[in-house]
Structure 1
Amino acid sequence: MKITVVRPRDLGAAESLRWRELQRASPGLDNPFLSVEFTMAMGALRDYVRVAVVEDGGEITGFFPHERHGFGLGRPLGGYLTTCHGLISVPELKLDPRELLRACGLSAIDFDHLVAGQPTFAPYETDVRPAPVMDLSGGFEAYVERVRAGSAKNYKTVRYKERKLGREQGEVRLEWACADAGTLRTVMNWKSDQYRRTGRVDRFAQPWIVRLAEELHSRRSDDFAGVLTMLYAGDTPVAGHFGLRTADTLVGWFPAYDPSFARYSPGIIHHLHMAEHAAGAGLRRVDMGKGGREYKEWLRTDALMVAEARISRPSPVAAVQWVGRVPVNRLRTAVVDNPSLFRAADRLLKSYGRARSLLLPRPTTEQSTKAQ
């Protein structure tokens, strides 16, 4: 077994082709965050991105994209930006994870969205939970019937709000795979405002993340693409989403809406229309990602299992990281698992966000882009 660590730009056409073959061969790897295209885009923008190439008998059996930060601290590729991490490999590949870390020059790495059950990492999984999925394999109408059967009241309420939106604001329609850069900026600005209102970290305040979204928005292939959707009432945009897809799966990434239309629940209306267009485009599922949002629970008709895990080699750096991160991660899990605590934390963050918005006005995404 041989492990070689390279930068993404050092991967040749043969390695990229092998990556895609391994990903297609394992249904559990059907996620655009595990695609070679995403790794390449990240590597072009961030100097700390690396790929461990695993060979056995002269044949490539796996790839491990990751981030290598100071003092040998590792992070999964994309860190908090992404919702799927793991090895892209033959299904039976089982490495000594500490030897993998050693080859990568890492002292420790934490996962919070690890593909569950991979032989290399399974012994280190500390928390495994479902990530909600909209299963479109039987077509959109079959999906809707399952949603209606599982939560008829919620479905009826959303459709009522959609009709009300149409009567009061104009015909409701969704644009699928929108190529307009201005529409992407609208979604990013809405999302930035949402982050600030709710007390979260504004991803799009970082110019490189804006550039990443713009770069991925321009990608178009059968195996990988950025997908921008926008819901309109008449000619007015009310809710949108930018995500990534493989040939079969669309992954939720940046959903957002205009808060002046909040009374209509435009985000949920958008999700239903997005699912309908996804099914029409031949996609088999929409992965909404794990998280504590109630709408995901009643829109879901299936689930994928994702895990948290921590792997380390004995070192002072790993010990310091454990002290700083593990207790916080456990507290976060406890809050997410308890609905009362989650609602209380959400209210607190929103109060903080409102106060911060009054004190710290944020530049628009256009200004952030110009600052690059």
Structure 2
Amino acid sequence: MRITLALPRELGEHEVSRWRALQEADAAFDNPFLSPEFTLTAGELRDVVRVAVLHDGPHIVGFFPFERHAMGIGKPVAAGLTDAQGLVHVKDLEIDANQLIKACGLSVYEFDHLVSGQPLLNARHERHPSPIIDLRDGFERYTAGLREHSGKTYKSTLAKSRKLQREAGAMRHDYASTDVAPLRTLLGWKTDQYRRTGRTDRFAHQWIVELVERLLATQTESFAGVLDMIYVDDKPVAGHFGLRTRTTLVGWFPAYDPQFAKYSPGLIHHLAMAERAAESGIQVIDMGRGQKEYKDKLKNGEFQVAEGRVARARPAAAVHWMMRVPVRKTRAAVMANPLLLKTADKALKTYGRVRTVLQG
């Protein structure tokens, strides 16, 4: 096994085509965060992005995109934003994880959404569900399942949709738009949501805004940014920006105008989006790891992703463990306990309200 390192922009068409072919050959890699286009675009904005190219003799057998930070700390590309991470490789690839990160110049590689079947994966790593909307049998079969298992949610969402249109006007659905103006409306809603709920505003970082805008402008058969919005009386009500492969759409940035909150616009939008996505050939909407009420109501299946790290016996890895692992374990304990989770969420929302008042 020979491993070479490259900046994303240094990859030639042969390497990019091989990456895409490996991705499309295995359903485990059918996620746009694992597509070469995502790493290439992030690499235009982040000088810490690297790609390890794995060779077996004359053949390329894998690609490992990552970020290399100070002290040899490795992270996934656009860490904190991505819901699928890891190598894209040939079936049954055998490589020692420590050998890989050593070749990458890393002391440790930390991940939180590692996909299944990875050489990096071991029994110590924590597994988490990633809920999905499975559309492989079609939208009608999906909604039939919702009526059976989440009948109250499905019926109330349809009723609220009718009520919204009676009270506010006719609804229009704009699927897979490439217009940047509604994207900026959506990101504004998302920023307000982050602030209201006490979360960090991701879009305060200009590179993230630029990343999203560049991905919206990327439109190919195998990869694209997907902006989806619903309007009432031509006024934007709710929307979502995500990414797709040929058959998988990932949930990334959903948001809505809070003045329409009583109509559950997020649920109305997700059902409308699922129908249009199915019509366009999407088979799975991956909503991403994390406990959210709307995910529980809409899901009809789940994938698994893993959280953990691979570390070499280096001082930097020990420092990283002390700074990150206890915090991660505490967060996992809170997320697993409904009472603690509710208390933490309430505290964050209180902080968000106070911060909003002070900033206002």
In structure 2, stretches of 5+ residues that fail to align are none
CA contact (8 A) 2:172 2:234 kept: no
In structure 1, stretches of 5+ residues that fail to align are 362-372
Q: Distance in 2 between matches of 1:356 and 1:317?
A: 35
CA deviation after TM superposition for structure 1 residue 123, in Å: 1.5
Render the CA deviation track for 1:262-282: whole Å, top value 9, x for unaligned.
Answer: 111101110000000000111
Please say if 1:165 is aligned against 2:164: yes
Local SS of the residue matching 2:147: helix
Runs ≥4 in structure 1, deviation > 3 angstroms? none
CA contact (8 A) 1:124 1:309 kept: no
Please say if 1:78 is aligned against 2:65: no
Please say if 1:266 is aligned against 2:281: no
CA deviation after TM superposition for structure 1 residue 315, in Å: 1.2
Local SS of the residue matching 2:176: coil
Render the CA deviation track for 1:51-92: whole Å, top value 9, x for unaligned.
Answer: 000000110000000000011011011110111101100121
Q: Distance in 2 between matches of 1:123 and 1:356?
A: 41
Q: Distance in 1 between matches of 2:317 and 2:161?
A: 51
1:252 partner amino acid: G
1:116 aligned partner: 116
1:242 aligned partner: 241
Q: Distance in 2 between matches of 1:141 and 1:210?
A: 36
Q: Distance in 2 between matches of 1:308 and 1:125?
A: 9
Alignment of 1:135-154 (within 5 A): 135-154=134-153
Q: Distance in 1 between matches of 2:201 and 2:91?
A: 37
CA deviation after TM superposition for structure 1 residue 294, in Å: 1.7
CA deviation after TM superposition for structure 1 residue 117, in Å: 3.0
CA deviation after TM superposition for structure 1 residue 321, in Å: 0.8
CA deviation after TM superposition for structure 1 residue 116, in Å: 2.2
Render the CA deviation track for 1:219-262: whole Å, top value 9, x for unaligned.
Answer: 11110000001011121111011000000000000001001111
CA contact (8 A) 2:225 2:243 kept: yes
1:151 partner amino acid: S
Worse-matched range after superposition: 126-135 or 185-194: 126-135
1:345 aligned partner: 344
Q: Distance in 1 between matches of 2:207 and 2:216?
A: 14
Distance 1:149 1:20, change over 3 A: same
> What count of residue pairs does the alignment treat as equivalent?
360
Local SS of the residue matching 2:239: strand
Question: What is the TM-score when the length of structure 1 is the normalising length?
Answer: 0.95
1:291 aligned partner: 290
1:25 aligned partner: 25
Distance 1:84 1:53, change over 3 A: same
CA deviation after TM superposition for structure 1 residue 124, in Å: 5.3
CA contact (8 A) 1:124 1:310 kept: no
CA deviation after TM superposition for structure 1 residue 94, in Å: 2.0
CA contact (8 A) 1:72 1:108 kept: yes
1:307 aligned partner: 306
Q: Distance in 1 between matches of 2:94 and 2:350?
A: 47
Q: Distance in 2 between matches of 1:172 and 1:287?
A: 25
CA contact (8 A) 1:84 1:115 kept: yes
Alignment of 1:159-308 (within 5 A): 159-308=158-307
1:138 partner amino acid: D
Q: Distance in 2 between matches of 1:163 and 1:94?
A: 55
CA deviation after TM superposition for structure 1 residue 359, in Å: 1.9
1:35 partner amino acid: S
Q: What is the root-mean-square deviation of aligned Cα atoms in Å? A: 1.0
CA contact (8 A) 1:116 1:128 kept: no
Render the CA deviation track for 1:171-193: whole Å, top value 9, x for unaligned.
Answer: 22311011211101000110011
CA deviation after TM superposition for structure 1 residue 125, in Å: 4.6
Local SS of the residue matching 1:128: strand
Q: Distance in 2 between matches of 1:193 and 1:281?
A: 31
1:61 partner amino acid: V
Render the CA deviation track for 1:16-73: whole Å, top value 9, x for unaligned.
Answer: 0000000000000000000000000010000000000000011000000000001101
Q: Distance in 2 between matches of 1:314 and 1:247?
A: 41
Local SS of the residue matching 1:359: helix
Q: Distance in 2 between matches of 1:132 and 1:217?
A: 24
Q: Distance in 2 between matches of 1:209 and 1:124?
A: 33
Q: Distance in 2 between matches of 1:52 and 1:79?
A: 17
Local SS of the residue matching 1:84: coil
CA contact (8 A) 1:125 1:307 kept: no
Q: Distance in 1 between matches of 2:297 and 2:320?
A: 37
1:194 partner amino acid: Q
Worse-matched range after superposition: 25-34 or 313-322: 313-322
Q: Distance in 1 between matches of 2:293 and 2:209?
A: 28
